[in-house]
């Protein structure tokens, strides 16, 4: 998979060169192309934002640099083009699976008060929000989408962790422990050290149900 990011702040995406995603890129599991929108402006002072028509606070990203960058990077419109914005459809786990099937994703990051509406109308397929809050830019949301999708690409994670995840669908994770068996008087539950895997599975299901009821009762249908 190829993922093209369009942003005014390309350095932010160095975060994706760390850990699992860094290794996955080196192994060629996906290719990240980070594009500086400023390189495409026709303005002689390299301006990419301007005051909003009709007045109001803040700045709006101009359509020309965005349009030129998208047409340069996806001339035949083969990519699924996504704009990250608080107005978008809320991004959920079920959308991750369909995004992971794509050959090419293009993620547009807005800054300031967002982008000229014509950039969305002319060049974007769908508007996604990672949640009901406002950030200074779409860069962190784009990184969230990349991370979620990359986990499902072949060879990025060990299949067992993904199987486990879908198995316990709609329930939150049970508590995990590692050594030492006791820390500041808090002991690891005996069952986890018993070697009885039927009992361990039962305990974990009960814990998952209990934490879901407490923190996310909305996830429990019936």
Contact positions vs ligand 4GM (CB under 6 A) = 84-86, 110, 113-114, 129-131, 133-135, 137-138, 141
For the chain, how big is the Rg over CA atoms in Å?
22
The residue number with the shortest CB distance to ligand 4GM is 110
Question: Cβ of residue 21: shortest distance to ligand 4GM, in angstroms?
Answer: 19
Question: Cβ of residue 140: shortest distance to ligand 4GM, in angstroms?
Answer: 8
Question: Cβ of residue 134: shortest distance to ligand 4GM, in angstroms?
Answer: 5
10 Å CB burial of residue 145 (0-12, 13-18, 19+) is buried
Q: What are phi and psi of 16, to 5 degrees?
A: -80, 0
Question: Cβ of residue 66: shortest distance to ligand 4GM, in angstroms?
Answer: 12
Is residue 83 a contact partner of residue 37, using CB atoms and an 8 Å limit?
A: no
Question: Cβ of residue 36: shortest distance to ligand 4GM, in angstroms?
Answer: 17
Q: Which residue number, 15 or 192, has a Cβ lying nearer to ligand 4GM?
A: 15
Q: Which residue number, 136 or 166, has a Cβ lying nearer to ligand 4GM?
A: 136
Q: Which residue number, 53 or 167, has a Cβ lying nearer to ligand 4GM?
A: 53
Distances (CA, A) of 38 to 8, 71, 115, 195: 6, 14, 14, 59
List the structure tokens of 169.
């669908």
Instruction: Note if the bond before 180 is cis, omega within 30 degrees.
Output: yes
Q: Which residue number, 52 or 137, has a Cβ lying nearer to ligand 4GM?
A: 137
Is residue 150 a contact partner of residue 26, using CB atoms and an 8 Å limit?
A: no
Q: Which residue number, 133 or 167, has a Cβ lying nearer to ligand 4GM?
A: 133
């Amino acid at each position: 998979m190829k993922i093209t990011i369009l942003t005014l702040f390309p350095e932010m995406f160095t975060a994706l060169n760390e850990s699992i995603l860094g290794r996955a890129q080196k192994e060629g599991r996906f290719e990240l192309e980070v594009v500086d929108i400023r390189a495409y402006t026709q303005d002689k002072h390299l301006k990419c934002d301007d005051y909003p028509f009709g007045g109001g606070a803040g700045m709006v990203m101009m359509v020309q640099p965005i349009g030129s960058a998208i047409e340069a990077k996806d001339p035949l419109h083969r990519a699924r083009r996504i704009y990250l914005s608080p107005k978008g459809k809320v991004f959920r786990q079920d959308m991750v699976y369909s995004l992971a099937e794509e050959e090419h994703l293009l993620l547009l990051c807005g800054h300031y008060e967002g982008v000229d509406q014509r950039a969305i109308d002319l060049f974007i397929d769908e508007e996604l929000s990672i949640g009901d809050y406002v950030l200074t830019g779409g860069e962190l949301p784009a990184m969230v989408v990349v991370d979620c999708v990359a986990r499902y690409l072949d060879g990025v994670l060990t299949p067992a962790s993904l199987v486990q995840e879908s198995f316990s669908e709609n329930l939150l994770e049970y508590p995990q422990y590692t050594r030492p068996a006791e820390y500041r008087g808090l002991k690891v539950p005996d069952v986890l050290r018993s070697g009885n895997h039927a009992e361990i599975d039962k305990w974990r299901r009960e814990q998952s149900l209990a934490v879901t009821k407490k923190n996310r009762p909305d996830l429990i249908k019936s």
